[in-house]
């Protein structure tokens, strides 16, 4: 990585640190459940406009889009390529009241503060610098337009709806995306291989009845337990070519009524994941077979698909490797640490499935994500902002 560029990014990150902490504290307090991110959307759009952004809008899905246009059009008159940088606005908690935020011993604690609020704030702060520094703006947009996105519906059953809508919109406008970078998770993660997943709602229905008078009729709760036992008895596929594993999870159960009633209904949420498309295809059949093994007279088992996250598609291997290397080299230069390239499921799944070179990079240190005790190390914000800004400054560099 260019040493002058890194010094420039570090200087800004150091000078802006206190303001970044204040911005994080404000944004972390704004509730933002999946599908209900409106208050954060409005805050972010207004904040970007106050920094001088001229082209900011909120699309129908709720994504905040900030376009930084290069000053020099292409000589052939065609639209410039786009480099997309994103972070998601939603958190896993359903709260609609302001979220509790506190700072103790150099840590900020709040629900969702690391996943993904701190990463989002780093993206906002880096965008601010491009808007305020003409030289940095021109370097970043020398050969591409930069689209900064605060996207919705990354968590849980959001099913990556924000990023799906983003790429549908770019396709409809005929914009060619050169690269995509999502900021999520922790330093020093650098993810270029997507973990695909399929998610289902399983419902078991029976006639039910009185616990004594009708004893012996199928009990929906007991049948659901049989279903779960059958699922966990599956010999999970392993890709013979890559060694990729498959994982499963039952994340929620409900059902029944009173203690003296045979349960007439019960349900569960189930998912399986793998970075191997072959594993996912094989798992689909094993999943259906496990359900079939539990069907019998008086028992109705229904399945509803509630989410599909695709894995890597036909991405140009050379260009993806170049993007991953550039990102990894930048991470090492900023942090001095080895890179964790383990595959994961992130917003980058969507562009990777479409064949677009894409990466997901963490920009904060912390722990306990998806718990109400989540925290981030405030000192790490400096490294995170320097990293995000460095990657944006390299957006026009060839892959």
How does DSSP assign 14-65, residue by residue? HHTHHHHHHHHHHHHTS--BTT--HHHHHHHHHHHHHTT-SSEEE-TT--EE
Token look-up 């605060």 returns 150
Average pLDDT over residues 296-316: 95
First-residue to last-residue Cα distance in the chain: 14
Distances (CA, A) of 27 to 116, 130, 258: 11, 21, 43
- Would you state the pLDDT for residue 78? 81
Q: Could you tell me if 338 and 250 lie in one domain?
A: no
Average pLDDT over residues 8-19: 98
**φ, ψ dihedrals at 163, nearest 5°:** -70, -35
CATH number at residue 42: 3.40.630.10
Q: What is the pLDDT of residues 77-108, one digit of tens each?
A: 788 999 999 999 999 999 999 999 999 999 99
- Would you state the pLDDT for residue 74? 77
Query: Dihedral of CA 132/177/385/396: which sign?
Result: negative
Q: What is the DSSP letter of 124?
A: H
3-state helix, strand, coil in the chain (%, to 5): 35, 25, 40
Query: Dihedral of CA 224/226/229/234: which sign?
Result: negative
Whether 399 maps to a domain, the answer reads no
Q: Could you tell me if 78 and 183 lie in one domain?
A: yes
Whether pLDDT at 292 is above 90: yes
Whether pLDDT at 272 is above 90: yes
Tally of domains within the chain: 2
Q: Could you tell me if 281 and 329 lie in one domain?
A: no
CATH number at residue 258: 3.30.70.360
**Domain carrying residue 171:** 3-193+311-393
Whether 302 maps to a domain, the answer reads yes
Q: Could you tell me if 170 and 216 lie in one domain?
A: no
Q: Could you tell me if 181 and 58 lie in one domain?
A: yes
Average pLDDT over residues 309-326: 95
CB 194 within 8 A of CB 311: yes
* Distant-in-sequence, close-in-space partners of 287: CB < 8 Å, separation ≥ 6: 200, 231, 234, 270, 272
Whether pLDDT at 158 is above 90: yes
Average pLDDT over residues 359-367: 98
Whether 398 maps to a domain, the answer reads no
Query: Dihedral of CA 163/165/284/291: which sign?
Result: positive
pTM of the complete model = 0.91
Q: Could you tell me if 161 and 210 lie in one domain?
A: no
Q: Could you tell me if 339 and 325 lie in one domain?
A: yes
Query: Dihedral of CA 354/358/363/365: which sign?
Result: positive
Q: Could you tell me if 95 and 242 lie in one domain?
A: no
Give the whole-angstrom CA distance, residue 349 versus residue 189: 15
Whether 59 maps to a domain, the answer reads yes
Q: Could you tell me if 122 and 145 lie in one domain?
A: yes
Copy the structure tokens of residue 365: 């240190």
Q: Could you tell me if 186 and 219 lie in one domain?
A: no
Give the whole-angstrom CA distance, residue 337 versus residue 1: 14
Beta strands in the chain (DSSP E): 56-58, 64-68, 82-88, 102-104, 107-109, 145-151, 177-183, 190-191, 196-205, 209-210, 246-255, 261-262, 265-274, 300-309, 358-361, 366-367, 375-377
Q: Could you tell me if 153 and 223 lie in one domain?
A: no
CB 307 within 8 A of CB 198: yes
- Would you state the pLDDT for residue 233? 98
**Pairing state of beta strands 82-88 and 177-183?**
parallel
Please give the mean pLDDT across all residues of the chain: 96
Domain boundary among 289, 309, 329: 309
Average pLDDT over residues 357-370: 97
Domain boundary among 265, 294, 309: 309
Whether pLDDT at 14 is above 80: yes
Whether 379 maps to a domain, the answer reads yes
- Would you state the pLDDT for residue 72? 82
179 CA to centre of own chain = 16
Domain boundary among 247, 282, 309: 309
Q: What is the pLDDT of residues 21-49, one digit of tens each?
A: 999 999 999 999 999 999 999 999 999 99
Copy the structure tokens of residue 82: 């786009």
Give the whole-angstrom CA distance, residue 372 versus residue 290: 35
């Amino acid at each position: 990585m260019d040493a002058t560029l890194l010094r420039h990014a570090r200087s800004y990150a150091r000078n802006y640190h206190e303001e970044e902490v204040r911005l994080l504290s404000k944004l972390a307090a704004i509730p933002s459940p999946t599908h209900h991110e409106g208050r954060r959307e409005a805050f972010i759009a207004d904040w970007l406009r106050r920094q001088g952004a001229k082209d900011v809008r909120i699309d129908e899905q709720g994504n905040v889009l900030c376009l930084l246009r290069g000053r020099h059009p292409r000589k052939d008159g065609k639209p410039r390529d786009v480099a997309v940088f994103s972070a998601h606005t939603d958190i896993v908690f359903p709260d609609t009241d302001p979220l509790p935020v506190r700072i103790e011993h150099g840590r900020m604690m709040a629900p969702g503060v690391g996943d993904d609020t701190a990463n989002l704030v780093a993206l906002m702060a880096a965008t601010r610098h491009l808007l305020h520094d003409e030289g940095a703006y021109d370097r970043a947009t020398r050969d591409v337009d930069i689209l900064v996105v605060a996207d919705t519906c990354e968590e849980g059953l959001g099913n990556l709806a924000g990023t799906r809508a983003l790429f549908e919109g770019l396709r409809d406008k005929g914009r060619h995306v050169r690269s995509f970078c999502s900021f999520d998770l922790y330093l020093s993660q650098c993810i270029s291989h997507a973990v695909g997943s399929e998610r289902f709602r399983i419902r078991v229905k029976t006639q039910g009845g009185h616990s004594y008078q009708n004893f012996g009729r199928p009990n929906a709760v007991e049948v659901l337990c049989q279903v779960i036992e059958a699922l966990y008895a599956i010999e999970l596929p392993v890709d013979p070519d890559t060694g990729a594993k498959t994982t499963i999870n039952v994340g929620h159960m409900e059902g029944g009524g009173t203690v003296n009633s045979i349960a007439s209904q019960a349900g569960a949420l189930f998912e399986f994941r793998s970075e191997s498309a072959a594993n996912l295809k094989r798992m689909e059949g094993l999943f259906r077979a496990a359900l079939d093994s539990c069907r019998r007279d008086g028992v109705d088992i229904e399945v509803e698909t509630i989410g599909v996250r695709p894995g890597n598609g036909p991405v140009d291997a050379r260009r993806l490797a170049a993007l991953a290397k550039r990102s990894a080299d930048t991470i090492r230069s900023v942090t001095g640490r080895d890179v964790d390239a383990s595959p994961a499921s992130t917003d980058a799944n969507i562009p990777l499935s479409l064949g677009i070179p894409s990466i997901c990079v963490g920009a904060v240190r912390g722990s306990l994500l998806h718990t109400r005790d989540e925290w981030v190390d405030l000192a790490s914000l400096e490294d995170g902002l320097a990293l995000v800004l460095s990657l944006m400054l390299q957006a026009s560099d060839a892959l």
